[in-house]
Amino acid sequence: MSIKDRFQPLLNERRQQHLYRSRPLVTSAQTVRMQINGLQVINFSSNDYLGLANHPKIKQSLSQALQTDEISYGSGAAHLVTGHHLQHHIAEDELADWLGCERALLFSTGYMANLAVQQVLMQPGDTILADKLNHASLIDGALQSEATLKRYPHLDMVALERRLQQASSQGGQVMIVTDGVFSMDGDLAPLQDIQRLAQTYQAWLLVDDAHGFGCLGEHGKGCFEYFGLEPDQNTILVGTLGKAFGCSGAFVAGSAILIESLIQFARPYIYTTAMPQLNALAIREALKLVRFAEEGGASRETLKQHIKQFRTGAKAIGLTLWNSPTSIQPILLGSSETALMWSEKLKQKGFWVSAIRPPTVPAGQARLRVTLSASHNKAQIQDLLKALEQTQLELTG
């Protein structure tokens, strides 16, 4: 059988089910106003929540660094060979200091970080208890570990405790795994309850706060700060740097023994080239903006106001929203075909809003995923609401 014989029918099936995916071609910088597939649009689909991806201070720091002989673009090797450069080391120290953790460890992607943590920490006879709507990288990390994976209904703390009781009675270590902010729904894990259950049943806790870091909490430290909590020694924090930080890569933060164990045993860390030094420098500059600059707090406040404006306006025109207090504001539409039609209509009106379809979301829950940035202005959000109302009238009457 040829590759074509095996996969052409599957590709055809995806097209027929309105599930085929194409890569939009971007021919401009990552900003609010962009050119995508040749269209000039207002972008409501990026994860650049604080507008740092094209920030002049980050660009200036990179430009200045390239004028010296102290930094190159490529790292040259894996971290454990000769790829661990000074910018990586300082970035890790600064991230750990910001979060109040003993240490942090950089990864090239959040996917690699989530694979690494569960593969290293969980052994045969252990149990991973995962929220049913966890990100794909968390699911894959659990499946590739040697532990037993049990999933509990989304945000259902009664079901989680029942599974904790069952797993504890069977022996072995238990780890609770959850997103902090769920990437397709925008809702929050109830970390107060989850942390209490983890401590009660002596379970470890892994929180992927990819969409919370930078945005949530008074100082942008994410979901733990948002809920007024502190991670303990058995908490593992994972954060990505390509969202609110506007860079790329990810980190794991926690105890010194956790980080040293990942360095020694995590295959996704050991057997890959370190991220470019310039990216580590960009991360440091982004962290300054998130952590110290007045504009960091101002951006988070602006984002809150944008979320309030959008939710109020969307409800007023009868759109179905999730209970999301975050930058992620999904509009439930149902079928994949309907979601694609809405997305296309909005593109024609000058707005880029992605249609999210199965298997990324459950069948029957296709949606538009509106994401808001501090770089948007009130007029742009109001214009999007008008375009949504017009689209609703055009497609539903």
Give helix 294-316 / helix 378-396 axis angle, nearest 10°: 30
Q: What are phi and psi of 127, to 5 degrees?
A: -135, 135
CB 355 within 8 A of CB 184: no
Catalytic residue among 85, 88, 135, 211: 211
Catalytic residue among 108, 137, 183, 375: 183
Q: Are strands 250-254 and 235-240 parallel, antiparallel or unpaired?
A: antiparallel
Asked about 211 being catalytic, the answer comes back as yes
Q: Which residues pair with 26 in a beta bridge?
A: 36
Instruction: Determine the residue type at 332.
Output: L
Closest to 222 in 3D by CA, of 256, 258, 178: 178
The strands making up 328-334's β-sheet, listed across from edge to edge, are 328-334, 366-371, 354-356
Distance CA 193, CA 45 (A): 31
Tokens of 76: 């040259």
Sign of torsion over alpha carbons 238, 243, 245, 250:
positive
Asked about 183 being catalytic, the answer comes back as yes
Tokens of 131: 């929220």
Distance CA 208, CA 148 (A): 20
Catalytic residue among 55, 135, 221, 243: 243
Catalytic residue set? 183, 211, 243
